[in-house]
């Protein structure tokens, strides 16, 4: 073979090897886009660099800088710093005054929730004209808010109910223009939500006299409501829980709720029990137990088979959770149900 031709061939081979071993663009090696990370896991971030002679690298999560480097070494971050849900990871590389950017989308999810079944401890009567939207046990009686579904002559109402008999001891019907939703007790007041009217109301707990109102914020609908002793916690049918000032109803904070499979949507009636938020899931016979700090679903109560009377698809849903903090009793019911149940959670 001609020596000149051999030299050209050798040079071509060398350049081909170099070209194959050197990344052609800046990109994430890990985590790859679409990666599912466990909440609390230490995430290793590694890039492939087309040029290792860089000036600096700036790593950011959702636009917030998490690390600055002047080399190509990997970065580690604690996923607890960013919370649950979809997260956008970026890396900006600067070389000679020029900028290059790499992107990666990840989903941070919690550990698998604990699963529970149930045992019925006691059964009580429940008014079949109560389209239950909110339920709370206080001072030995139940407080209940109801809605007025279309196609019926029902009126939204606020009620005080005797537990053992289901007798309505006190009732205040709400203006027909409002669809009643969740409620909770804060001191000597009852806070009452409407569905799509973008307003909630304050009532006197003893007289049921309306005391005032408050507008909704970013959460445009009212579904469930509870009180953690400091702030109101409100659902709106999404996977978000909103924290409101208990005196004014003004939104202060929000978290998104996820289980090991993804976002848990259609959160409905709420109850705050021993530091956790118990939530009905609309059109499902399931209660999820939520950590209100992280939004992680830590438990799941399967109530399938609890109530079977006149159950139609998308009708007469499980909706209503109340807790007796003194007697440690858990009560559940549903829309237009004839029964209210005291249940015991059974670990599976």
The model's pTM is 0.90
Q: What confidence score (pLDDT) does residue 9 get?
A: 41
- Regarding the domain with residue range 114-347, which homologous superfamily does it belong to in the CATH classification? TolB, C-terminal domain (2.120.10.30)
Cα(81)–Cα(133) distance, rounded to whole angstroms?
35
234-281 tens-digit pLDDT: 999 999 999 999 999 999 999 999 999 999 999 999 999 999 999 999
Q: What confidence score (pLDDT) does residue 139 get?
A: 97
Mean pLDDT of the region 215-225: 97
Q: What confidence score (pLDDT) does residue 314 get?
A: 58
Q: What confidence score (pLDDT) does residue 122 get?
A: 99
Q: What confidence score (pLDDT) does residue 24 get?
A: 65
Contact, 26 vs 101, CB < 8 A? yes
135-184 tens-digit pLDDT: 999 999 999 999 999 888 999 999 999 999 999 999 999 999 999 999 99
- Regarding the domain with residue range 22-109, which homologous superfamily does it belong to in the CATH classification? Immunoglobulins (2.60.40.10)
Q: What confidence score (pLDDT) does residue 313 get?
A: 57
Q: Residue 23's pLDDT band (boundaries 50, 70, 90)? A: low
The residue extents of the domains of the chain are 22-109, 114-347
The dihedral formed by the CA atoms of 182, 186, 187 and 192, expressed in degrees to the nearest 10: -40
Q: What confidence score (pLDDT) does residue 53 get?
A: 87
Q: Can you give the three-state secondary structure of the chain, one letter per residue? A: CCHHHHHHHHHHHHHHHHHHHCCCCCEEEECCCCEEEECCCEEEEEEECCCCCCCEEEEEECCEEEEEECCCCCEEEEHHHCCCEEEEEEEEEEECCEEEEEEEEEEEECCCCEEEEEEEEEEEECCCCCCEEEEEEECCEEEEEECCCCCCCCCCEEEEECCCCCCEEEEEECCCCCCEEEEEEECCEEEEEECCCCEEEEEECCCCCEEEEEECCCCCCCCCEEECCCEEEEECCCCEEEEEECCCCCEEEEEECEECCEECCCEEEEEEECCEEEEEECCCCEEEEECCCCCEEEEEEECCCCCCCCCCCCCCCEEEEEEECCCCEEEEEECCCCEEEEEEEEEC
100-139 tens-digit pLDDT: 999 999 999 999 999 999 999 999 999 999 999 999 999 9
Residue 298 has pLDDT above 80, yes or no: yes
């Amino acid at each position: 073979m001609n020596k000149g031709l051999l030299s050209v061939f050798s040079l071509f081979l060398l350049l081909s090897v170099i070209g194959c071993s050197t990344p052609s663009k800046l990109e994430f090696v890990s985590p790859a886009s679409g990666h599912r990370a466990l909440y609390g896991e230490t995430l290793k971030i590694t890039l492939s660099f087309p040029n290792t002679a860089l000036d600096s690298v700036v790593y950011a999560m959702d636009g917030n800088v998490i690390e600055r480097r002047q080399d190509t070494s990997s970065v580690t971050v604690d996923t607890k710093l960013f919370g649950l849900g979809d997260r956008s990871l970026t890396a900006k590389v600067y070389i000679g005054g020029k900028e290059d950017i790499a992107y990666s989308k990840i989903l941070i999810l919690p550990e698998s929730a604990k699963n529970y079944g149930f045992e019925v401890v006691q059964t009580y009567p429940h008014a079949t004209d109560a389209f239950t939207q909110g339920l709370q046990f206080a001072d030995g009686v139940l407080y209940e808010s109801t809605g007025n579904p279309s196609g019926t002559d029902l009126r939204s109402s606020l009620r005080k109910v005797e537990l053992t008999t289901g007798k309505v001891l006190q009732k205040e019907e709400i203006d027909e223009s409002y669809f009643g939703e969740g409620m909770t007790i804060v001191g000597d007041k009852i806070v009452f939500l409407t569905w799509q009217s973008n307003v909630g109301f304050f009532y006197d707990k003893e007289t049921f006299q309306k005391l005032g109102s408050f507008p909704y914020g970013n959460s445009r609908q009212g579904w469930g409501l509870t009180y953690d002793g400091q702030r109101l916690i409100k659902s709106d049918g999404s996977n978000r829980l909103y924290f409101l000032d208990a005196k004014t109803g003004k939104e202060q904070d929000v978290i998104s709720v996820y289980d090991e499979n993804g976002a848990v949507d259609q959160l409905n009636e709420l109850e705050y029990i021993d530091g956790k938020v118990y939530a009905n899931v609309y059109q499902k016979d399931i209660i999820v137990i939520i950590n209100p700090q992280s939004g992680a679903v830590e438990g799941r109560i399967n109530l399938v088979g609890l109530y079977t009377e006149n159950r139609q698809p998308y009708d007469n849903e499980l909706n209503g959770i109340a807790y007796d903090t003194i007697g440690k009793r858990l009560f559940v019911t549903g829309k237009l149900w004839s029964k209210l149940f005291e249940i015991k959670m059974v670990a599976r």
